[in-house]
Amino acid sequence: MSGDLLDMPLPYSVEEINAAKEATLKANNLTDAYIRAIAWRGVGEDMGVAAKRNPIRMAVAVWTWGSYYGDAKFKGAKLDIAKWKRPSPETIPHAAKAAGLYMICTMSKHAAEAKGCSDAMMFDYRGYVAEATGANIFFVKDGEVHTPKADAFLNGITRQTVIGMLKDMQIKVHERHIMPEELEGFEQCWLTGTAAEVTPVGQIGTYNFEVGDLTKRVATEYEKLVRS
């Protein structure tokens, strides 16, 4: 999907890519690892902005990676609020997972870490709550879950998995636009992502959240799912 959105049709099937992942894990003697497949246009006839005549290459990297947010799994991550906003879908292919789209995320995370935070929460171009720099975000209020509508940022696979899990638990999920002033009324918060998995959030700016029972349950159930 990302390749098509970026005008880079991949010359490999899903089966071939999965086989390459398995082979790379085996070659590195890893059974529990982070896997990253990356595609790019290689050397060819084009050396300018256009690159249609250059071949599309792919590589697979794997490595052992501990908790993305350190001990936040237990006490909740501390998030800054980024000065950068997720751009309008009219300016970027927001549904694609592409390295170039992470530039403002990298700068926002660097600024957050300089303040002693683990990450930063970003608003979108309209001022709605969007996501963290590399993870989607969820909130809990009165036993129901609220998460930003993925219309200006990447709809992560882990996000989709957790929404499915919540619905299986018979927990109401609201995918909607969330205003900044609503943060004060939410009781719990967590992040989801391939690296973040399900990570509780204890603080965003001046807003505080408890690492509550639902957050712990979702984190536990997700852990069982991916390591079963």
Indicate which residues carry an active-site annotation: 97
Beta strand 129-132 with 119-124 is antiparallel
CA distance 118 to 7: 34
Cβ-Cβ contacts under 8 Å for 143 (sequence gap 6 or more): 171, 172, 214
Give the position of tokens 């129901």. Answer: 144
Contact 113, 82 (CB under 8 A): no
Contact 80, 120 (CB under 8 A): yes
CA distance 41 to 20: 19
